[in-house]
A and B are shown apart, each in its own frame.
Chain A
Amino acid sequence: MTVNLLGLSRDVYKGLPTTLCAGCGHNSITNHLIKALYEYGVAPHLLAKMSGIGCSSKTPAYFVEQAHGFNGVHGRMPSAATGAKLANRELLVLGISGDGDTASIGLGQYAHMVRRNVDCVYIVENNGVYGLTKGQFSATADTGSTLKNGTPNEYSTIDICGLAIELGATFVARSFSGDGKQLVPLLQAAFAHRGTSILDIVSPCVTFNDHQGSTKSYAYVKDHEIAINAPDFIRPREEITVDYEPGTVQEITLEDGSRVMLRKVDRDYDATSRIGALSMIHETREKGEFVTGLLFADTGVPDLSEREKLVQKPLKDLKEDELRISRGDWDALFTS
């Protein structure tokens, strides 16, 4: 039987059968996640699967059934993820959200999670539409795209990646649900990154948003996606055997010593430049294109637990003698 670094089979990383529509992009993401978690060797008991409300937020039930899951309230997963990580900094907190959950009802919490640099992986399964309530626009719907009934979106769109970079995010990537080759290494790089890792994954809704007027349909995305870099993720415990051409590869070292290698496919792209990343997002958007890949990363920013100087031992495990004021200090409080 094939096993990973922890000696666990791939089946351990599977979950319950999906209840989403057949062909849903979210299911593809789930499968890539299973692969990424298995290959990376995430210990199931240290994985905390967090989500809000919506189609995307159901997906934590569909992978790593052994792990603890927390399906919270709409748009408020970032706060729950923050609390869970503070309580136990050993957890790999993996949040799965959607475009409605993140860009509309949860925009405030999303913004503040990013600016606190809470150490978590935050995936937005972005289809530009409200699926569960049967097809209303979300705030990531592109200006000019239409609903099934022909209603056009006249409002400006919220770019989840651009916003995150503006807010000080330390890891921002965009991918496409159908591109496992790009997505799996991006996910693994996100697991390794200490701080908030934003993954905006365009995930077509086959039921409500896969028609000609939508800019997030399979056909539209496949025609307009441009891959700026194809990162290969390498665990430090393995020999580096990636096939890359000198001079075309950019190396980013993550906090745990592991590294992401950026392969520049179409053009020379510097993922360490905040301004460059924003320019890229705006320029490609103007051309009606999606830029995918690791758009921005800064590995030198302390995460929330570091900023708060938390003890290494999980706060949840601290005992009376570590938390209470000593008897002597207590008596002094009332005699001064």
Chain B
Amino acid sequence: MQQRVTNDFTIRVATVNGSGSQSSNLVLTNAIFRLGIPVAPKNVFPSNIEGLPTWFDVRISSKGYQCRTRDVDLLVALNPATWRTDIAGVKAGGAVIYETSYPIAGESQRDDVTYYAVPFNELAKANFSDGALRKYLLNMIYVGVVGELLGISEEDVEAAIASQFKRKAKAAATNVEAARVGYTYARENLKKTDRFALERVTGKTDGLSFMDGNRAAALGCIMGGCTVAAWYPITPSSSLCENFIALADKYRVDAQTGERRVAIVQAEDELAAIGMVLGAGWAGARAMTSTSGPGISLMAEWAGYGYYAEVPAVIFDVQRAGPSTGLPTRTMQGDVSFAYTLSHGDTKHIVLLPATVQEAYTMAMDAFDLADRFQTPVFVLSDLDLGMNPWMTSALPYPRRPFDRGKVLREKDLNKLEKWGRYRDVDNDGVPYRTLPGTNHAKAGYFTRGTGHDEEARYSEMPDVWQRNLDRLVKKHETARTAVPQPLVEGHGNAIAILAYGTTHHAVIEARDILEHRGIETDYMRVRALPFSPDISAFVARHERVYVVEQNRDGQLFGLLRVELPDHLISRIHSIRHYNGVPIDAHAIVDPLLQAEREPAVIAE
């Protein structure tokens, strides 16, 4: 008899896109979570409305690992098109629940997995007369089968269904019925011979609930005082603005008058979206747009304008796999170097790099403060994994700070000044003062332009004026180094370190545990923003080798570090890259790191 595996395995559900499997996948996730067991769902879906294969992984991890794992222990196979490759992906000792009609022959015939044949199609046909609903309810039948085999009580599944179908009692009842069909069939027909089990635990998920990063960012926009949003729909960022709209409808509308304290425009393209944001930011509103890589490409010219004319803006880039249209529904940390210097000429932006749902929320608020404080576009680089997958998270904290609206001169300030210059560095931090249109003072107005200008915002083509302004902008960028979210460090005193950012964080957590078991202890720095904090070079200086891990082919952050680190430290950093479109897992870090440690010369850059 195989050793029992409790609360530490991964379920993969392979279905056809458009079959409505997302609801049942979330019900399964929630039902397991109700047992107090940490779960990390990952949706690997196609760029398609209906018909292409889609997979949903539910990682069950007693240690609370939230990254993807490449190990599939229990497969629910409901897509004939991918049946053969899906079964090949199951780990030895795993189990397969499949539709009875699928052939077990050749590749799909394995002697190291347990098979459970379930006549899903027949069960759906026999129990549900509505043909249209049948395809959809078939998915809920699988939840019942899995529940019975793994020991999830029917009550927990029913509670999960109730919470999934809030305010839709009839739909909930039908889904409960479908789950029961699965339970009953499994109880009466399947003999459990696999090794996987779930057991209720305590103390691991207290105070946690599920949220995706796009919703958290939308909450950050509401709490950060965003009043103008302009966007163009694009996967995987659309749900950020859609969540913002839903929240605004609820919390930004006067109950008596119906008047709205927010303006949201679906723009004709991303050029218009960023243009509206800059126009609004210039006029004094907190404004944002959300997009993904292709939209960032279109925004390049305006981004340089915002940088040079010094206009606040917040741009959420929920990164997806590129170049070009690429893989619109897959993840990547692909826009880091592009966003950092987005636009022609001498341009450098503030870029925030959230890794968690908490940070998707807090950094959204930070972004509005930083944009106002530094009078510049601020990019928040989330990714599809963070933005669209549900993550366990504790309650988001209520903001304690008021808005930081930056250096804005009002009428009373102007009364005290004999003269002022829009681009004059009064405080020696590179950050000038601005006025807003509508300021009722004869001296308030100035001319904002993307052309060369002097300290008084007057047009100038003089070489010294041009260079002086660029140097001040660099000084402002230097000031931002310590004002942006600073890196976080774990571990101390080891020779080897890992440096990562964004969602790569979750794979690093598991990778460091695995490495420790293999006898390699590591320190870890998580970079949370650009420009780089001075802490980063100090951290590299304290280590013999620093492995920079990221989810792109060319080592974008690694490249930026090589440019900015002092020469003598450059040889200490090494690059580990993951770029197949699915979220990085621990072995994508452990394997190359172990190899490099055995043969350091091989990967030395």
Contacts and interface: CB of A to CB of B under 8 A. Distances in A.
A267 interface: no
Contacts of B279: 50, 70, 72, 79-87
A70 B436 CA distance: 12
B261 interface: yes
Interface string A308-326: 1111101111101011110
Q: Which 7 A-B pairs have the closest CB atoms?
A: A83-B279, A79-B275, A316-B284, A87-B285, A80-B279, A83-B280, A87-B283
Q: Taking each of A64, A73, A108, which has the highest tally of chain B beta carbons within 10 Å of its own beta carbon?
A: A73
A194 interface: no
A71 B448 CA distance: 6
Given A68-B445, A311-B254, A79 B271 contact: yes
B223 A315 contact: no
B301 interface: yes
B278 interface: yes
Contacts of B274: 79
A170 B278 CA distance: 26
Interface residues of B, number: 67
Interface in B396-430: 396, 398-399, 402-403
A252 interface: no
Q: Taking each of B263, B264, B449, B459, which has the highest tally of chain A beta carbons within 10 Å of its own beta carbon?
A: B263
B445 A315 contact: no
Interface of A: 43-46, 48, 50, 60-61, 64-73, 76-88, 90-91, 108-109, 111-112, 116, 304-305, 308-312, 314-318, 320, 322-325, 327, 329-331, 334
Nearest to A324: B223
Contacts of A315: 227-228, 261-263, 280, 285
Nearest to A81: B279
A91 B283 contact: yes
Given A45-B438, A67-B445, A79 B262 contact: no
14 contacts: A70-B279, A70-B449, A72-B450, A79-B273, A79-B274, A82-B279, A83-B277, A87-B228, A109-B271, A308-B265, A318-B225, A318-B261, A327-B398, A331-B398
B395 interface: yes
Nearest to A86: B263
Contacts of B466: none
Contacts of A305: 263
Contacts of B252: 323
Given A68-B436, A70-B449, A83-B277, 4 more contacts: A69-B449, A109-B271, A315-B262, A320-B403
Nearest to B223: A324
B446 A73 contact: no
A61 B457 CA distance: 11
Interface string B378-405: 0000000000000000011011001100
A323 B285 contact: no
A45 B444 contact: yes
B230 interface: yes
B354 interface: no
Contact of B251 (A116, A309, A310, A329): A329
B338 interface: no
Interface in B435-451: 435-451
B447 A87 contact: no
A329 B252 CA distance: 12
Contact of A79 (B254, B276, B436): B276
Contact of A48 (B230, B258, B435, B437): B437
B260 interface: yes
B305 interface: yes
B96 interface: no
A65 B445 contact: yes
A317 B228 CA distance: 12
Nearest to B395: A334
Nearest to A89: B263
B275 A76 contact: yes
Contacts of B268: 108-109, 111-112
Interface in B240-286: 247, 251-254, 258-265, 267-269, 271-285
A308 B227 contact: no
B370 interface: no
Interface string B443-471: 11111111100000001000000000000
A310 B445 contact: no
B393 to A, nearest CB: 10
A43 B438 CA distance: 9
A71 B267 CA distance: 21
Interface string B196-227: 00000000000001000000000000110111
B222 A83 contact: no
B227 A318 contact: yes
Given A70-B282, A86-B285, A112 B267 contact: yes
A101 to B, nearest CB: 13
Contacts of B251: 325, 329
Contacts of A304: 265
A318 B230 CA distance: 18
B343 to A, nearest CB: 10
Nearest to B268: A112
Interface string B94-137: 00000000000000000000000000000000000000000000
B433 interface: no
B259 A91 contact: no
Nearest to B396: A334
B307 interface: no
A230 to B, nearest CB: 33
Nearest to A80: B279
Contact of B448 (A46, A65, A68, A317): A68
A73 B268 CA distance: 17
B287 interface: yes
A76 B271 contact: yes
B227 A88 contact: no
B272 A84 contact: no
Nearest to B302: A73
A76 B228 contact: no
Contacts of A68: 435-437, 444-448
Nearest to A67: B445
A310 B248 CA distance: 12
Given A69-B447, A72-B450, A323-B252, A84 B258 contact: no
Contacts of B444: 45, 66, 68
B278 A80 contact: yes
Q: Taking each of A83, A84, A90, A323, which has the highest tally of chain B beta carbons within 10 Å of its own beta carbon?
A: A83
B281 A83 contact: yes
